[in-house]
């Protein structure tokens, strides 16, 4: 009988459930958006119960489609989970209910907490804990969000004092509820990739650090168990997938790395979603960046395997800038419109758009930066702004690629890409032009969910090894090649860097 693997892909703005066959083909899927809340400037929140409901509804809809095609749920051998990283969730151990809204990864309310923590350290440096966790002190990561909750949400502090507090990233919240929650023995677990984004895990021994827990004042008893990215954590307790093992867990960017089969040191992928994230595989060697990149765990595909590390460059705003043009400014009706409008002009008319809505992440790390449109004249129109929005994504990607080339002492010749924004041929051609290297888009761009499915399938022996995964599907790719000369490319990039400097110091 055929066998299938499911994957929950819980993103920043929507949740999906996909069912793959063993060749990596999507057999059925369903996607549901859920609300985000912006109660103050720089604040981004989500309701954890709405996240959970979007996942369970997506599962129900997908399974119905799957069965309508004549398949049986009994043939789904396992499911994997991939999730928005760094988003902080706190809930009550006794009731299983959230104690407040989740604080989303791109929320910037913790700016003062970051600076206070840095000032409290003898070094007075935002890199003061990087040697332990691989990360700088910044609003991006989970630890400062949990510290803010403890200082500003009485229910969270009270729960910690009384031993009732449970905290985690979105993967932990989902696994806990899917395996039974407070009433039926829900399992509190996370994987090494998500734990590596909290600033609470020692990146060398893959354990919660007593020093870091004390630094952020987070109780270790509130934290989940850290497991590998590929093992059976528990079984679905209820619903159409009841009894199916949950056997894979990866943060979304690490899942895309596995889905893109970047299994060899020196390979890199870039995912274009709400934000934009480039991961460079450094193998079993932990590497620290001299150029503003993050050290992170790429994956650990089994509890008895060595972790694979990576350097990562993170861009806060990519697809969310396109959504901003649609929802806030009304310049486009649908996200897909941006490519059409951008293609109607041959350049931006001198317009540059620094999309620093949440400050600037790698390699700049400026939480005082804010978005700005520069170079506007009466000649500029919607088409130029649309093109400048796509170029902003591509210029920031070049900044990260330059940093990776400097850290690795080698120049990448090919960049693998995935994510929703890569559907735009215009954007991907701009990316190739701005980088000056080939940009390769796979025929199946569902690489994030596919990576979670691969991890789950490995755990239940649907694939025996990484070699089986590499041979599990064809490599029908679309290749975008540079079409501009180096002088044009470098001149535009120099102007971009001038625009970046203008964005500093606004917050």
Instruction: Indicate whether 273 and 205 sit together in one domain.
Output: no
Of 211, 234, 253, which residue is a domain's last? 253
Residue 473 pLDDT grade (very low, low, confident, very high; cuts 50, 70, 90): low
Instruction: Indicate whether 183 and 299 sit together in one domain.
Output: no
Instruction: Indicate whether 70 and 128 sit together in one domain.
Output: yes
- For the segment 261-285, the average pLDDT, to the nearest whole number, is 87
pTM for the structure as a whole? 0.86
Distance CA 332, CA 326 (A): 5
Residue 186 has pLDDT above 90, yes or no: yes
Contact 470, 259 (CB under 8 A): no
Beta bridge partners of 297: 309
Greater model confidence, 406 or 411: 406
Instruction: Indicate whether 172 and 283 sit together in one domain.
Output: no
Residue 444 pLDDT grade (very low, low, confident, very high; cuts 50, 70, 90): confident
Instruction: Indicate whether 222 and 85 sit together in one domain.
Output: yes
CB count within 10 Å of CB 373 equals 16
Instruction: Indicate whether 183 and 278 sit together in one domain.
Output: no
Instruction: Indicate whether 248 and 278 sit together in one domain.
Output: no
Instruction: Indicate whether 279 and 350 sit together in one domain.
Output: yes
Q: What are the Cα distances from residue 288, in Å, to 123, 131, 291, 449? A: 18, 8, 9, 28
Of 253, 278, 294, which residue is a domain's last? 253
Instruction: Indicate whether 39 and 146 sit together in one domain.
Output: yes
CA end-to-end span of the chain = 59
Whether 467 is covered by a domain: the verdict is no
Residue 277 has pLDDT above 60, yes or no: yes
Q: pLDDT (tens digit, 9 = 90+) per residue, 112-124? A: 999 999 988 888 8
Whether 486 is covered by a domain: the verdict is yes
Instruction: Indicate whether 223 and 271 sit together in one domain.
Output: no
Whole-number pLDDT of residue 49: 97
Instruction: Indicate whether 125 and 25 sit together in one domain.
Output: yes
Beta bridge partners of 10: 15, 83
Greater model confidence, 391 or 413: 391
**Residue 184: which CATH number?**
3.30.420.40
Whether 69 is covered by a domain: the verdict is yes
CB count within 10 Å of CB 364 equals 18
Q: pLDDT (tens digit, 9 = 90+) per residue, 6-60? A: 999 999 989 999 999 988 889 999 999 999 999 998 899 999 999 999 999 999 9
Q: pLDDT (tens digit, 9 = 90+) per residue, 89-113? A: 999 999 999 999 999 998 989 999 9
Over the chain, what is the mean pLDDT?
A: 92
Domain carrying residue 49: 4-253
CB count within 10 Å of CB 470 equals 12
Instruction: Indicate whether 346 and 212 sit together in one domain.
Output: no
Number of residues that this document lists for the chain: 507
Which range is least confidently modeled, 22-31, 56-65, 140-149, 272-281? 272-281
Work out how many domains the chain is built from and give that number: 2
Residue 470 has pLDDT above 80, yes or no: no
Whether 468 is covered by a domain: the verdict is no
Of 253, 287, 313, which residue is a domain's last? 253
Whether 451 is covered by a domain: the verdict is no
């Amino acid at each position: 009988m055929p066998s299938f693997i499911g994957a929950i892909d819980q993103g920043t703005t929507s949740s999906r459930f996909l069912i793959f066959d063993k060749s990596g083909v999507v057999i059925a899927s369903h996607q549901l958006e859920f609300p985000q809340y912006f109660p103050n400037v720089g604040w981004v929140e989500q309701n954890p119960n709405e996240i959970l409901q979007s996942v369970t509804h997506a599962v129900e809809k997908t399974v119905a489609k799957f069965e309508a095609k004549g398949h049986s749920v009994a043939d789904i051998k396992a499911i994997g989970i991939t999730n928005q990283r760094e988003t902080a969730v706190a809930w009550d151990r006794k009731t299983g209910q959230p104690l407040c809204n989740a604080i989303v990864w791109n929320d910037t309310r913790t700016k003062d907490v970051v600076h206070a923590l840095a000032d409290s350290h003898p070094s007075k440096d935002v890199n003061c804990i990087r040697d332990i966790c691989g990360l700088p002190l910044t609003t991006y990561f989970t630890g400062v969000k949990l510290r803010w909750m403890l200082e500003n949400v009485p229910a969270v502090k009270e729960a910690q004092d009384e031993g009732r507090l449970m905290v985690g990233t979105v993967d932990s919240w989902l696994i806990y509820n899917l395996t039974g929650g407070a009433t039926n023995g829900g399992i509190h677990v996370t994987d090494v990739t998500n734990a590596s984004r909290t600033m609470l895990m020692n990146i060398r021994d893959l354990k919660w650090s007593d020093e870091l827990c004390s630094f952020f004042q987070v109780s270790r008893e509130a934290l989940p168990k850290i497991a590998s990215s590929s093992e059976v954590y528990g079984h679905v307790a209820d619903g159409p997938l009841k009894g199916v093992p949950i056997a894979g867990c990866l943060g979304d960017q690490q899942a895309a790395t596995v889905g893109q089969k970047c299994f060899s040191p020196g390979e890199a992928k870039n995912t274009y979603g709400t934000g934009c994230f480039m991961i460079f595989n450094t193998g079993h060697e932990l590497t620290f960046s001299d150029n503003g990149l993050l050290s992170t765990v790429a994956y650990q595909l089994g509890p008895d395997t060595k972790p694979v590390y990576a350097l990562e460059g993170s861009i806060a705003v990519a697809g969310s800038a396109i959504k901003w043009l649609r929802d806030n400014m009304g310049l486009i009706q649908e996200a897909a419109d941006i490519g059409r409008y951008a293609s109607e002009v041959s350049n931006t008319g001198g317009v540059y758009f620094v999309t620093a809505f949440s400050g600037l992440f790698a390699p700049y790390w400026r939480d005082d930066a804010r978005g700005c449109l520069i170079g506007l004249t009466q000649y500029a129109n919607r088409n130029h702004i649309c093109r400048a929005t796509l170029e902003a994504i591509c210029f920031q990607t070049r900044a990260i690629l330059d940093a990776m080339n400097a850290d690795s002492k080698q120049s990448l010749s090919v960049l693998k890409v995935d994510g929703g924004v890569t559907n735009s041929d215009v954007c991907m051609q701009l990316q190739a032009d701005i980088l000056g290297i080939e940009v390769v888009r796979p025929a199946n761009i569902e690489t994030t969910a596919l990576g979670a499915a691969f991890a789950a399938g490995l755990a239940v022996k649907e694939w025996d090894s990484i070699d089986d995964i590499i041979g599990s599907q064809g490599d029908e790719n679309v290749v975008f090649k540079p079409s501009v000369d180096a002088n044009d490319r470098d001149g535009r990039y120099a102007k971009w860097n001038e625009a970046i400097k203008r964005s500093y110091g606004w917050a």
